[in-house]
Structure formats: C-alpha cells, structure tokens
Structure 1
Amino acid sequence: MEIDFSNAGIFLILFTIGFILMDEYVAKPLRRRRLERRAATEPKVRRALEIADEVAARHGGKRP
C-alpha cells in the first residue's frame, strides 16, 4: 500500500476524530475526578469547580 495524499488525508481525519473522542470521553472525566478530589482540601480548586458549574449551567448544562 502506497502512502499518498488521499491515504494521508483519511488517516489525519480519523486520527483527529479519535483524538477528540478520547479527550471527551476518557480524559475529561479523569481530569474532573482528580479536580473533585483536590477540591475536598483546596479552597481555590473548589471555587474553580463552582465557577465551572455556574458557567455550564448558563450554557445548557454541559460541564467542561
């Protein structure tokens, strides 16, 4: 199989979609859980999560 522009383009599109999906469904929940554990002991982190929840409520309930 030769690598040409069409194959490279397809690979790039699929890689980009995979990367975005991984970030949405794997990395964001992990980051959120880690921040929630830190928020139990650190007031700045707790306040940042409260602000994120307020912004999410304003924009249709989608949390960052």
Structure 2
Amino acid sequence: MAAQALPAEFVWLINELFTEVLDGRNESLTDGIQRVLGRAPKDFSAYATETAASGIWSN
C-alpha cells in the first residue's frame, strides 16, 4: 500500500482493520434480533431478494 503512495494514515487504518477489527475475535452471535423483532434473523441475501420482489426499491 505504501508503494501505491497511499497516505500513511490510510495504510495504518487498513492494517488496523485487518489485524485487529476483522481478525475474528470480535465475532460473536447474540440473540439481539430475535429479542427486538420477535423473530429469527434473516440471511442478507434472503432479505434483499424479498425486498426487491416487493417493489419498494423501484421508483
């Protein structure tokens, strides 16, 4: 990244994201959606498919 002349703060941020934030240690499943919505969570692709079929995104 530095070879691509990215600013040092961007290189630091990307490194931080991939070594600290996205390394899996912050990954955990909770029951928040179930408690708030009163139903099991949906897979994002199922949500997107259902929402697109509803026509809500068509203007």
TM range (shorter): 0.3 to 0.5
More helix by share: 1
Normalised TM-score (structure 1): 0.32
Normalised TM-score (structure 2): 0.33
Higher relative contact order (CA 8 A, sep 6+): 1
